[in-house]
Amino acid sequence: MNSQTFVENYGRMNSKEKMNFLDNLIKETDISYLPPLIEICEKEKERALKEKILFIISNLISEIDFEMFERMLQSADPFVRNGAVELLKENREKLYPLIEELSKHSDKDVRKFAIDALVEDSSDDAAKILGGALDDREINIRITAIEYLGNAGATAYTEKIEKLLLSEENVLLKCTALEALAKIGHSPHAREIIDKFSEENNPMIIFSFLKYLAAFGKDKELQLIDKIIERDESLFNREYIDAIEKIQTRAKIEKLPENVLKRLERIAEKTDNSPLKYEIMKLLNKVKEEDLTEVREKLKSEDEMEILSAVEILRDRGTAEDIELLEELADRIESDEILEAIGDAVETIREREAK
């Protein structure tokens, strides 16, 4: 049966007949069916039938060549295009050479679809293809390649990403590059990048820059971060806290600058975001020696995050007299998270007192 007859016969069937026809076709392995299958998939309106056709095509994956994928990726039907990407994604370990060839196609859409098949792929083969896409003339493809390399932690391409970050003017590329480098955790030109973006005013870039500072900033960057947040505490407070906390941990800072401490306390006092308040208190616990009398008073607070913070401080610094306070708290509290923290604190204090 030639392709034209195949398509015409299918077009004359009702829905049930089409499904029966396709069910029988699943057993076939004739590569000549591929072109008409793609054509009827493009014309078919019923979703279940389109999915059945794609399943049949997937059974012939070992026979599908560059031209056939090119045909699907250039289809006017989004289902067929997306189906081709899914086929490449599901079978990419066998198809890296074909994906690489498609990533160099003259059609920018085909190139984009090809690298989309490498999302969440951390293999060396994928990194090599994505690394090549960093030189693509289309900026959206370069941005996608940067994002995927960042997600894959592709250290080998950090300098190339840095070069694009320092030379390109596109805001989305800058944001993506900053966050990709932060995820990878490697940036040989960190000093130059921090200097370049230290006076940045675009909120989108600042958001990503704070993530970059969290990954690569040192103790001297604490003041830069505070200067950034000073413009609008409510806009970047989550990123601000994350950056301070990660620098403090990495640099083993025992005492934060007074202005940073005061800002953290102010944000905690003003926020009604309990998880955020807890993160601030946890950070303050690490760098600020609170008087234990004040900590014990916090056990009476109506704010669960403040109570949890106090329990954790007593776990680390409390004495035998705090065990009774914690057990009394356990009798009146309902939060499973706090009850678990109380149990941990009581056990830790007992172990410490027994030494």
The predicted model gives 107-117 an average pLDDT of 97
Q: At what angle do helices 108-116 and 124-133 cross, to 10 degrees?
A: 150
pLDDT digits (tens, 9 = 90+) for 300-343: 888 888 888 888 888 888 888 899 999 999 998 889 989 999 99
Examine the pLDDT at 355 and tell me if it is beyond 80. no
pLDDT of residue 243: 92
The answer to whether residues 15 and 47 touch, using CB atoms and an 8 Å cutoff, is no
The answer to whether residues 261 and 284 touch, using CB atoms and an 8 Å cutoff, is yes
pLDDT digits (tens, 9 = 90+) for 134-169: 999 999 999 999 999 999 999 999 999 999 999 999
In angstroms, the CA 309 to CA 275 distance is 11
Q: 119-128, 171-180, 288-297, 303-312: lowest mean pLDDT where?
A: 288-297
Examine the pLDDT at 276 and tell me if it is beyond 90. no
